[in-house]
Chains A and B, each alone.
Chain A
Amino acid sequence: MTPLSRRELLRSAVLAGLALPVASACATPAGDGGTSSAPAAGATSAANPLGLAEDRPLEIWIFDGGFGDAYAKDIHEPLLKAKYPKLEIKHNATQEIAKTLQPRFAGGNPPEFINNSGANAMDFGALVQDGQLADLTPLYDAPSWDDPTVKVRDTIDPAAIELGSYDGTPYVMNYVNTVWGIWYSQKLFDDNGWRPPKTWEEFTALCEEIKKAGEMAPFTYAGRHPYYIYEAILTLAAKIGGKDVLKNIDNLEDGAWTAEPVKQAAGAFAEIGAKYLMQGTAGLDHVQTQTAQNKGQVAMLPCGSWLENEQKDTTPADFGYAMFALPGFTSSDAMPYGTLHVQPGEEYVVSARSANPRAGMEYMRAMLSKDGAGDFMELVSTLTVVKGAGEGRELKPGLRSAAKALLVAGDNAVWFLFRKWYAELHDEVAAASGQLMNGKLTVDEWAERAQKKAEAIKNDSSVKKFKR
């Protein structure tokens, strides 16, 4: 045998490299869907309506974000454990949902219950497309935790079920109800004799007044996360043009973004951006701008109802968080004053191919009980989708203000879903909105960019489309 030359060695290494992927453990999944079939439900009974199997463990993954994971450990898990003492509950918390759990889905052994939330959540569209999520219809048709004569479906906000549905099938349970608005300090407004504006003229007049006083900037938003501002733009657009404006956007309709109400709303906020924005807004994130508000450097900012809880460590005791709905733009707005962006959110799913999916659903049923939701509401200071969960409980001022706004809004609630359905469109609109507020894009350019992206997604065969 001749000695192996360097060249020969390299050549054989390359050949081995080409041959090996066939044999080696693959990063790609097994070619034929070698997935285990979904385990059947156990025996159902009045006490165990979903047929949870007590002999198999329930693995729970909570997103350790703004709400922490104490609510699961201290409220919901004990609630379920009290009913099923033999059930083993494996509690986990992470901030990296996708990185931690995506491999488990690809590997065919996903955990039962997942709080798929946060910036690193898994793509719902991809999960649904691949049949990874359990159909939650049995849960919603089951008797409620508190009253066996009432179905779970009837104890919660119907929007929560609608928003968690993909092509009519409910796969995702939305637990938290979030309302958006413009937030201010009640104390600051009282001290200065300012009142929440009801029309756009009043709003700009208030901004002007605050600017002239020179004590603080009138308005800011989380500049590093322009979602905070395009949320307000789209809510105003819906108020001007009606609910269909957002529906068209979600359905990727032609010309949805270039429609007149959308442009009007974008123009209105672009003007605020040009005249009344706090210095340096574009470079600050949500915590920095919100802290600036706590310090009295800025009067108003758009945010969701998680704000009070998020800022609890930096808020002065007498700050008095309060919010108002977006002011009316013209007298001919399609929707009345008080129209709110209401979005059931904080998503929870049960994996269809896990070992004990019914236990995951039973856990959801416990979460949707009056006690489960009420305790959660007090602990993390947020609204839930469970009707009347906050009754008779002590709420903080910001939460009380949000709850009141929700009551006033009634049916005039609007929402959009493309952020969840098409992450790409969300990123593009966010990027463009930041530039709109900085004055680097005109309203027309902004609308065209969003429209172009929507069309690109519409024409992309690999992306599953959703309708509402």
Chain B
Amino acid sequence: MRHGRTRFAVGFLVLPVTLYVVYVIAPYAQAFSIALTNWRGVNASPQFVGLENFRRLLEDTVFWKAVGHNLLLLVLLPVLTIVIALFFAFLLNAGGRGGTGGVWGSRFYRVVFFFPQVLAIAVIAVLFQQVFRPDRSGMLNAPLIAMGFEPIGFLSDTDIALWSILGVLVWQAVGFYVVLFSAGIASIPRELFEAAAIDGAGGPPMFFRITLPLLWDTIQVGWVYLGIIALDVFAIVWVMTPEQGGPDYSTTVMAAEIYRNAFEYSRFGYASAMGVVLFFFTIGFAALALRLSRRERIEF
């Protein structure tokens, strides 16, 4: 009986675990060993250089700039996205008159908000290249130029470019979380809202006293997802920005530096060392997220 159960479990697990080990764990492990060599991608016998790559990484100002950008996004992307998405989700579900229905036209908005999620990231990046164009063909700059102002270098000004990236990321992500939070709000028993309304609670107290606490689990999930997105951001940066991560490295992120060093400078050893650092950032974030989410649940 017991023996049969073990066989049953192993039979189910052997294929996925093998695939996972070969295609996920093994490359990770290899990255650690490549990080200790000066492999340039085509050589048959990489030379072992010890911790040389990591020592050089410490002095690599561009890489630490990239780390800084990732950390900034890690803080701001989840916060902005969740706040905006919560606001919209609340309006769509409980923001109407009497606090029990959505605002007028909420079904329409629900679909519209989800549109960005349907587009491929590369499409979004190319789209926003046009939106941000600094001449009369740019959607944002055309009115400015028509009014006689200097065009804003959304992607060409080193002080602004990263904020443009953040804007695009938030624009792209909000729709999904509106849907996620809407589902969360819909699962909150209606009586709670009705009872609060009878007690005279308006919009804001209802949101902060009922919706937010009961949605906390869903928000945590959203925060973890967005955090993972913020540690990547490669596609948007690589496709949208000039000099891929520019201008002057003002928008570069860790993944972009890994790609640049590996596939443009053919420094696979060095890039692997960066990958190892990114690995520890990801593990650190995951541990932090798990730690913070250990909290009592509200049963309803």
A431 adjacent to chain B (CB < 8 Å) = yes
Q: Are B270 and A31 in contact (CB under 8 A)?
A: no
Which size class do A's interface residues fall under? 35 or more
CB distance from A109 to the nearest CB of B (A): 13
- Contacting B40 at CB < 8 Å: which of A130, A283, A284? A130
Contact with A along B3-42 (1 / 0, CB 8 A): 1011001100100010011100111011001100011111
Name the CB-closest residue of A to B40.
A126
Interface assignment of B2: CB less than 8 Å from any CB of chain A = yes
**Bound CA–CA A17/B28 (angstroms):** 10
Contact indicator per residue, chain A 424-435, by CB within 8 Å of chain B (1) or not (0): 100100111011
Q: Is B78 an interface residue (CB 8 A)?
A: no
Say yes or no: is B151 at the interface (Cβ < 8 Å to chain A): yes
Residues in B neighbouring A99, C-beta threshold 8 A: 263
B72-93 at interface with A (beta carbon < 8 Å): none
A21 touches which of B26, B155, B264 (Cβ 8 Å): B26
Complex CA gap A4/B39 in Å reads 41
Question: Is B194 part of the binding interface, using a Cβ–Cβ cutoff of 8 Å?
Answer: no
Tell me the B102-142 residues at the A interface (CB within 8 Å). 132-135, 138, 141
Task: Across the interface, name the chain B residue whose C-beta is closest to A224.
Answer: B242
Distance between Cα atoms of A427 and B265 in the complex (Å): 10
Q: Decide yes or no: A21 and B29 within 8 Å by CB, A32-B45, A280-B153, A462-B49 being known contacts.
A: yes
A207 to B6, CA, bound (A): 82
Q: A13-B17, A279-B134, A283-B153 known; A27 and B30 CB under 8 Å?
A: yes
**A1 interface neighbour in B6, B141, B157, B265, Cβ under 8 Å:** B6
A98 within 8 A of B: yes
Contact A427 B243 (CB under 8 A): yes
8 A Cβ contacts from B225-270 to A: 242-243, 246-249, 260, 263-267, 269-270
Nearest-CB residue, chain A, relative to B150: A279
Interface residues of A (CB under 8 A from B): 1-4, 9, 13, 16-18, 20-21, 24-35, 98-99, 102, 105-106, 120, 122-123, 125-127, 129-130, 132, 223-226, 279-280, 282-285, 288, 292, 423-424, 427, 430-432, 434-435, 438, 440, 460-462
- Determine if B30 and A123 form an interchain contact, defined as CB atoms under 8 angstroms apart: no
When the two chains form their complex, are residues A3 and B6 in contact, meaning their CB atoms are under 8 A apart? yes
Shortest B265–chain A CB gap in Å is 5
Contact partner of B132 (CB less than 8 A), chosen from A4, A25, A98, A283, is A283
Say whether B247 contacts A434, CB under 8 Å.
yes
In whole angstroms, how far apart are the Cα atoms of A440 and B140 in the complex? 24
Smallest beta-carbon distance A283→chain B, Å: 3
Residue B101 interfacial (CB < 8 Å): no
Asked, given contacts A224-B242, A427-B243, whether A462 binds B17 with beta carbons under 8 Å apart, the answer is no
A68 CB to closest chain B CB (Å) equals 22
Q: Are A430 and B243 in contact (CB under 8 A)?
A: yes
| Pair B26/A462 contact, Cβ less than 8 Å | no
Whether the Cβ atoms of B46 and A28 lie closer than 8 Å is yes
New A-B contacts (17) at CB < 8 Å, excluding given A285-B242, A462-B269: A3-B2, A29-B46, A30-B44, A31-B44, A32-B44, A33-B44, A99-B263, A120-B263, A223-B156, A223-B242, A279-B145, A282-B134, A282-B156, A288-B135, A431-B249, A438-B157, A462-B270
**Complex contacts, B134 vs chain A, CB 8 Å:** 279-280, 282-284
Q: Are B247 and A35 in contact (CB under 8 A)?
A: no
- The complex places the Cα of A288 from the Cα of B27 at a distance, in Å, of 41
Interface centre among A18, A284, A292, A432 (most CB of B within 10 A): A284
B193 CB within 8 Å of chain A: no
B253 to chain A, nearest CB (A): 16
Q: How far is the CA of A225 from the CA of B243 in the complex (A)?
A: 6
**Please, how many angstroms separate the alpha-carbon atoms of A106 and B243 in the complex?**
28
Which residues from A are CB-within-8-Å of B243? 224-226, 427, 430-431, 434
Given contacts A431-B247, A462-B49, contact A126 B41 (CB under 8 A): yes
- Could you name 30 residue pairs across A and B whose Cβ atoms are closer than 8 Å? A4-B9, A9-B9, A17-B21, A17-B25, A18-B29, A20-B25, A25-B22, A28-B46, A29-B45, A29-B46, A33-B45, A105-B42, A106-B41, A123-B266, A126-B42, A126-B43, A225-B242, A279-B151, A280-B134, A280-B135, A282-B156, A282-B247, A284-B133, A424-B265, A427-B264, A434-B242, A434-B243, A438-B157, A461-B52, A462-B270
Contact A462–B30 (Cβ < 8 Å): no
By CB atoms of chain B within 10 A, which of A25, A29, A462 has the most? A462
Within 8 Å of chain A (Cβ to Cβ): is B218? no
B181 at the A/B interface (Cβ < 8 Å)?
no
Please report the C-alpha to C-alpha distance between residue A123 and residue B8 in the assembled complex, in whole angstroms. Answer: 51
B30 CB to nearest A CB, Å: 5
Residues in A with CB closer than 8 Å to B220 are none
A438-B192 Cα distance, complex, nearest whole Å: 58
Leading 9 A-B pairs by shortest Cβ distance: A280-B134, A283-B156, A17-B25, A224-B242, A283-B134, A282-B156, A462-B38, A123-B266, A33-B44
The answer to whether A24 and B22 touch (CB under 8 A), given A224-B243, A434-B248, is yes
> Smallest CB-CB separation from B26: which chain A residue?
A21
A132 to B20, CA, bound (A): 34
B154 at the interface (CB under 8 A from A): yes
**Please, which residues of chain A bring their CB within 8 A of the CB of B3?**
1
B236 nearest CB across to chain A (Å): 16
Task: List A contacts of B269 (CB < 8 A).
Answer: 462
Per the 8 Å Cβ criterion, residues 35-71 of B in contact with A are 38-46, 49, 52, 56
Q: Check if B100 is an interface residue, CB within 8 A of chain A.
A: no
What is the bound-complex CA distance between A345 and B17, given in angstroms?
A: 50
If A126-B266, A284-B134 touch, does A106 touch B42 (CB 8 Å cutoff)?
Answer: yes
Q: Do B265 and A423 touch (CB < 8 A)?
A: yes
User: B158: CB under 8 A from chain A?
Assistant: yes
Known: A279-B150, A282-B134, A440-B158. A102 touches B38 (CB 8 A): no
CA distance A24 to B30 in the complex (A): 11
Q: A284-B134, A285-B242, A462-B38 are in contact. Are A435 and B264 (CB under 8 A)?
A: no
Let me know if A283 and B45 touch, CB within 8 A: no
CB distance from A296 to the nearest CB of B (A): 14
Q: Complex formed: what's the CA distance from A400 to B156 in Å?
A: 35
CB nearest neighbor in A for B37: A28
* CB closest chain-B residue, reference A279: B151
Contact B42 A132 (CB under 8 A): yes
Partner of B267, one of A24, A434, A462: A462
Q: Which residues of B contact A440 (CB under 8 A)?
A: 158, 248
Cross-chain contact A280 with B25 (CB below 8 angstroms): no
Q: When the two chains form the complex, which single residue of A28, A32, A223, A280 contacts B34, counting CB atoms closer than 8 Å?
A: A28
